[in-house]
Structure 1
Amino acid sequence: MLLHGAVALALTLTPVTGSDRPVLDWGECPDNAAVQCADLRLPVDWSRSDGETFALAVARRPAPDPAKRIGTLVFGPGGPGDSGVGKVLDGTRFSPEILDRFDVVSFDPRTVEGSAAPVCEPDPDLPRPPIVLRDQADFDTTVTWNRALWTRCRASSPVFDHASTLDTVRDIEALRRALGESSLTFHGSSYGTLLGQQYAERHPHRVRAVVLEGVFDHGLDLRGFVRTQAASLQDAFEEFLAWCDATGQCGGDIRGEWAKLGDLERSVLPLMTLNGPDRPRLAALIRRYAAGQGPPITLPPIAAGAFCADFPAPVRDYREYASLLREAAHAGPDVRYGAGVAAISTCLGWPKPVTNPPHRLRVRTDIPLLLLNARHDPRTGLNWATRIAAELGRHGRLVTYEGAGHGVYRDTPCTEAVVDRYLIDLAVPPPGATCPAPSAASARSSSPSA
């Protein structure tokens, strides 16, 4: 077995062609005997399948009883930048029933951890740009910073310029073949839903079942992306304020404390805290920052090799950038900017054109894709899920969780049952199906309502 890390960066010249079945040499994962690990050798550049290769890090948690096993469930991690291997090792991503019926398999996408992750150390001689740019000088600094960073990334990872979602779709198809599965059972979360969408688009007859949890919309232009993301964060923040009023658990005048914060705190704090149900944490952070006692704000890194290859940032100068700031602030007057503005800064200066440009989704699968989204999702709003559901038409089915959060599959018995019955029994919920939030689920029903 190949271990991940430096070994995963080594290249071979072993050809991987369309007629060859890729090989997974499973072995016990370090420090976790319940999970198996392997490296899958794949082309760096799928347009040159007989060229150099890299090691895709893969992990599998086998179903305990082969007699009850349905097949393999492949999990698509989000981010971009999340480790799917880590999710399999953790073992809590899926319900006990799913773990009982499927081998659960995931991977580190290109440029993430065990899969040729680059060493992207910033140039120490360059000034670090702010999260929100203030003028043309900041804009120019960001472009210079980004390009210097990407040069360092490229030098340490062969796949940095081949890390788009379409590249990963090809990796997933190779993984399916290596697993010996005739069709794909897939669950994607957040940015991983884009992987599920584009796999179904390219391989409709290989789809057994695809779950999209926290639906990402790849069909928006840059202005639409910024506007809708800010609107989703604003909606989640308004739900938080309503919860404060209803429960009295936020303490004091939380609205007055909020008014003391700057634009950066208003944008980042809800984004960091409203993914889950811990609303008191956001209230405590608001009070702390309002008192001038909050730590410096940083954002988790985005896997630029993947994200910037999927989304163009054709912003020519600060004037255009400032117009996007105004667009976001109009859509989210309390939260100001949301994640969309930070995403733009991540990709300023990226070479054009991108390899996987946004487009209207065209899926023609035999079984509808299952979409699950919270009504108040701060990252992938219901506005994105309803757009993707409309594009899918009869080839998709949206279930709305009538609560808040990002990634809600295991939040309630209802949301868990919807996904489990679809993956195990291929049971598609009725049109307009919803799951209640816990406060409204007095009977804790495990069935969706139409």
Structure 2
Amino acid sequence: MANRERRGVLALLLAMVLLLTGCSTETVVGQPSPKYPMPKLADPDNIPELDPLPETPTWDEFMDSLENSVKRRANNGTVTDTSRLEQIVDELSDADPEDPGVQAVMRTVMRAARTQSYLPPAIEQSGKASSAGTLDWQSCGEGGLECASLQVPLDYDDPNGETIEIKIDRYPATDPDKRIGVLLSNPGGPGGSGLDFLPGWYESLTDEIKASFDVISFDPRGVGQSDGLTCGSVDTSANPNPYPNGDSEEDEFTEYAEDAAAACEQAGPLLDHVGAVNVVKDMEEMRKAMGEEQISYVGYSYGTVLGQVYANLYPESLRATVLDGMVDTAITKQELSSKQNAAFDNALRRFTKTCPEACTGLAQYVIQQAAQTPYPSTYLTAQESVDDYIASISISSMLRTPENWPLLAWSLREAAANGDGTLLMLIAELGAGISIFDGSVSGGDGLSGDAFNAVMCEDFDVAPLDEAYQMARTDNRLHPVFASPPDVLCNVWPTEREPLGPLTWPEELPMLLVSTTGDPATPHSMAQTVVSRNPSAVLLTHNGDGHTVYGGQDKCVDKNVNTFLIDLELPKKGTVCK
């Protein structure tokens, strides 16, 4: 994959404006402020040693793990080309396997191979809904995984018109005698593949949940194996300043955004019908096709938007709803970006406190240096250098999960002290779904950037252009590690926006909202705002760090959520898991 294309895929992690794929970047210099004082930059010649990462592999363990991952992918028909992995192993074979930095790379490659070896194969059968309102489930993977698909209207205002196909996977309840019903899930994005998400999520659930529910997920319309949405290409030769300064540069940037928005008209009529309301109507059709009077639902991140809309439109169809990582649909797209920038900045400062002697100012130093001279990736291909854009994406990706913070420290230290961007690039690629096996985008489309833009531009209102540019300048000055281009694509989007606005649902509907106080992607304040509009909902607060938590991350959260899902017993209001 060319570096220009690679950066376009990687940009999805930060929900950056995808129209800037391939553009050059320049450093946005942060200025001290009372709220976010900038730390002193690290001294690359005097960065203390870090403790080796836990579970570091020997060379034999490394090779055995990769061999098993390749076999697993070959068995389920999802890999035929391992050229990229072979190239990485060849480069690593000349390195010292006792070096902690090399071991960190080996560990990360193993992790990528192991994670991606569980991806389900694409299925050919249509599994269309029968006249009896059922789905044609067929075996399609390990552990009892079954697949089907459902024809739904492209336009619900024209129910007898053109249809599209939605792919659905499930793990049937392991104990029919204990079966409660269906537990539907969505990983968020928008643009995230539920089919790619499901095997790993299922593994994180308790045996009691697996016994009690058919555990199900799906690729939303426009994403992955369902009928996809693809925009046309954009001429990048204009190459406007991604951080425009002044009216003239802002006009050039807006024109470029207009070209990118216009290119999406090539996606056809689906472009008008991919927002949360349409996806929720698809979910309701799934419920009917499965013959269930009600379903239970767990939604993460943007999946919480789907849960809120479902509760608003079809409250009678929901048995129990868990929303983890709340998104507030009442704010503008630019306000959401601003809140996320501040939250990621706060997460970076908490990360720094875990290794203050080695990590203070380290991220800021790496971003500043990468903007001037990209870091080469020693064990990857020549074109995979890490500039400030990719470094920022990698940092944000690792900040989402506290367990990754020691790896983030190693990634930054290897770049600053040894000039090697390998770890930063591998983590950015892993988060964006780039295959460690052949360099392709895993699971078909990975996180669909075209679908992401189409959904966000339909579901959210926008600030006026001049205000959007001012907000970007302010955010980039306060949070330079997470500096991003102005969020104006939705201002010039070619289809009509239908902002969701503040969402509410009936008071009698049992709803459990889960929020982490240090969540960098969906700040805790958004959950508090949503609860204030829906006082009957219960907010379960996780006092900690990371983006979303249910599913093996915290025993207290899992216990409360599982009790609700199985027994419909909500925790007391004000419950905090520390």
- Answer whether TM exceeds 0.5 for this pair: yes
**2-side partners of 1:413 and 1:379: how far apart?**
22
Query: Which residue does 1:446 correspond to in 2?
Result: none
Structure 1 residue 267: Cα displacement: 5.0
Confirm whether residue 333 of structure 1 aligns to residue 474 of structure 2: no
Distance 1:35 1:185, change over 3 A: same
Confirm whether residue 237 of structure 1 aligns to residue 348 of structure 2: yes
> Per the alignment, in what secondary structure is the counterpart of residue 390 of structure 1?
helix
Query: Which residue does 1:399 correspond to in 2?
Result: 540
Distance 1:349 1:229, change over 3 A: same
**2-side partners of 1:268 and 1:45: how far apart?**
36
Query: Which residue does 2:497 correspond to in 1?
Result: 354
Query: Which residue does 1:257 correspond to in 2?
Result: 365
**Contact in 1 for aligned 2:275/2:456 (Cα 8 Å):** yes
Out of 383, 408, 412, the position equivalent to 1:286 is 412
Query: Which residue does 1:168 correspond to in 2?
Result: 279
| Cα deviation digits, residues 116-147 of structure 1 (max 9, x gap) | 01344524675566765563323322321232
Confirm whether residue 56 of structure 1 aligns to residue 166 of structure 2: yes
Query: Which residue does 1:322 correspond to in 2?
Result: 469
Choose 192-201 or 292-301, whichever is displaced more.
Answer: 292-301
Rg comparison, structure with higher value: 2
**Contact in 2 for aligned 1:376/1:382 (Cα 8 Å):** yes
Distance 1:365 1:62, change over 3 A: farther
Out of 298, 303, 307, the position equivalent to 1:187 is 298
Distance 1:375 1:67, change over 3 A: same
Distance 1:430 1:252, change over 3 A: closer
Structure 1 residue 47: Cα displacement: 0.6
Distance 1:257 1:203, change over 3 A: same
Structure 1 residue 205: Cα displacement: 2.4
Query: Which residue does 2:18 correspond to in 1?
Result: none
Distance 1:276 1:255, change over 3 A: closer
Structure 1 residue 194: Cα displacement: 0.2
Counterpart residue type for residue 508 of structure 2: D
Distance 1:386 1:108, change over 3 A: same
Counterpart residue type for residue 62 of structure 1: P
Distance 1:183 1:143, change over 3 A: same
Distance 1:47 1:130, change over 3 A: farther
Query: Which residue does 2:139 correspond to in 1?
Result: 28
The alignment of Structure 1 onto Structure 2 pairs a total of residues equal to: 411
**Contact in 1 for aligned 2:125/2:148 (Cα 8 Å):** no
Structure in which a larger fraction of residues adopt helix:
2
Query: Which residue does 1:211 correspond to in 2?
Result: 322
Distance 1:5 1:116, change over 3 A: farther
**Contact in 1 for aligned 2:325/2:516 (Cα 8 Å):** yes
Counterpart residue type for residue 262 of structure 2: R
Structure 1 residue 160: Cα displacement: 3.0
Counterpart residue type for residue 257 of structure 1: Y
| Cα deviation digits, residues 388-418 of structure 1 (max 9, x gap) | 1111112x11111111101211212112112
Counterpart residue type for residue 260 of structure 2: W
**Contact in 2 for aligned 1:164/1:309 (Cα 8 Å):** yes
Equivalent residues in 2 for 1:119-130, closer than 5 Å: 119-120=230-231, 122-123=233-234
Counterpart residue type for residue 84 of structure 1: G
Confirm whether residue 408 of structure 1 aligns to residue 554 of structure 2: no
Counterpart residue type for residue 433 of structure 1: T
**Contact in 2 for aligned 1:228/1:383 (Cα 8 Å):** no
Distance 1:173 1:225, change over 3 A: same
Q: What RMSD, in angstroms, separates the aligned Cα atoms of the two structures?
A: 3.2
Query: Which residue does 1:443 correspond to in 2?
Result: none
> Per the alignment, in what secondary structure is the counterpart of residue 226 of structure 1?
helix
Out of 137, 145, 155, the position equivalent to 2:260 is 145
Confirm whether residue 305 of structure 1 aligns to residue 454 of structure 2: yes
Out of 502, 513, 530, the position equivalent to 1:388 is 530
> Per the alignment, in what secondary structure is the counterpart of residue 534 of structure 2?
helix
> Per the alignment, in what secondary structure is the counterpart of residue 535 of structure 2?
helix
- Unaligned runs of 5+ residues in structure 2 are 1-120, 372-387, 433-446
**2-side partners of 1:128 and 1:37: how far apart?**
44
Counterpart residue type for residue 402 of structure 1: N
Distance 1:349 1:7, change over 3 A: farther
Distance 1:62 1:345, change over 3 A: same
**Contact in 2 for aligned 1:110/1:163 (Cα 8 Å):** yes
**Contact in 2 for aligned 1:220/1:358 (Cα 8 Å):** no
**2-side partners of 1:212 and 1:191: how far apart?**
9
TM-score by length of 2: 0.64
| Cα deviation digits, residues 265-284 of structure 1 (max 9, x gap) | 78534322111121122223
**Contact in 2 for aligned 1:226/1:328 (Cα 8 Å):** no
**Contact in 1 for aligned 2:331/2:460 (Cα 8 Å):** no
| Cα deviation digits, residues 297-345 of structure 1 (max 9, x gap) | 89765322222211244554xx444202134246x5354547xx67x25
Counterpart residue type for residue 216 of structure 1: V
Counterpart residue type for residue 179 of structure 2: R
**Contact in 2 for aligned 1:311/1:354 (Cα 8 Å):** yes
Structure 1 residue 374: Cα displacement: 1.2
> Per the alignment, in what secondary structure is the counterpart of residue 47 of structure 1?
coil
| Cα deviation digits, residues 215-274 of structure 1 (max 9, x gap) | 1111112443233222221221221122223xx6x4576377368455757853432211
**2-side partners of 1:153 and 1:287: how far apart?**
43
Distance 1:301 1:103, change over 3 A: closer
> Per the alignment, in what secondary structure is the counterpart of residue 114 of structure 1?
coil
**1-side partners of 2:363 and 2:338: how far apart?**
23
Structure 1 residue 33: Cα displacement: 5.9
Query: Which residue does 1:66 correspond to in 2?
Result: 176
**Contact in 1 for aligned 2:514/2:539 (Cα 8 Å):** yes
Distance 1:253 1:216, change over 3 A: closer
Choose 420-429 or 83-92, whichever is displaced more.
Answer: 83-92
> Per the alignment, in what secondary structure is the counterpart of residue 48 of structure 1?
coil
> Per the alignment, in what secondary structure is the counterpart of residue 159 of structure 1?
helix
**2-side partners of 1:7 and 1:118: how far apart?**
21
**2-side partners of 1:420 and 1:268: how far apart?**
33
Distance 1:34 1:345, change over 3 A: farther
> Per the alignment, in what secondary structure is the counterpart of residue 362 of structure 1?
coil
**1-side partners of 2:360 and 2:312: how far apart?**
51
**Contact in 2 for aligned 1:35/1:88 (Cα 8 Å):** no
| Cα deviation digits, residues 339-392 of structure 1 (max 9, x gap) | xx67x255352135313x031122114243111111111100101111111111
Structure 1 residue 177: Cα displacement: 1.2
**2-side partners of 1:130 and 1:67: how far apart?**
62
**Contact in 1 for aligned 2:148/2:167 (Cα 8 Å):** yes
**2-side partners of 1:220 and 1:253: how far apart?**
32
Structure 1 residue 38: Cα displacement: 0.7
